[in-house]
Amino acid sequence: MCFTSIKNIDPKPSKEVQDLQDELSLSNNEWTQAFKDLNEKVVKAEEKSKKLEESHSADIKYIVSLLVNEMIEKVNGENVDGEKNNAKQKYKSDSFDQHGSKKTRFE
């Protein structure tokens, strides 16, 4: 370890040393402020990302519910326009033979 005695420290540094110390101090202050600014931007970006993620999730849930409702309407025999369709009847006629017995899949 190296120790410096107080005798070696110049009580009044030269003009060049003082200028360098001032420049270093100014640079440290600038870097500190730049770091704070960037950190603030990151926090805001994370908040925005979280809001967009929540909005995206809500949009997906809405779309899925629309699709499920449309599928339920199709199965119940109504298409999107409210017209009856014969999906149920077609299933019944395909599943049962003319005597009312259930058809086997591998006939």
Q: Which residues pair with 102 in a beta bridge?
A: 96
Predicted TM-score of the model (pTM): 0.45
- Which has more confidence, 80 or 12? 12
CB 45, CB 37: distance < 8 Å = no
Rounded CA-CA distance 2/42 in Å is 42
CA distances from 81 to 31, 73, 74, 84 (A): 64, 10, 11, 9
* Segment 62-82, tens digit of pLDDT: 999 999 998 888 888 755 555
Mean pLDDT (the chain, rounded): 78
Domain limits of the chain?
25-95
pLDDT at 107: 45
* Segment 16-44, tens digit of pLDDT: 888 999 999 999 999 999 999 999 999 99
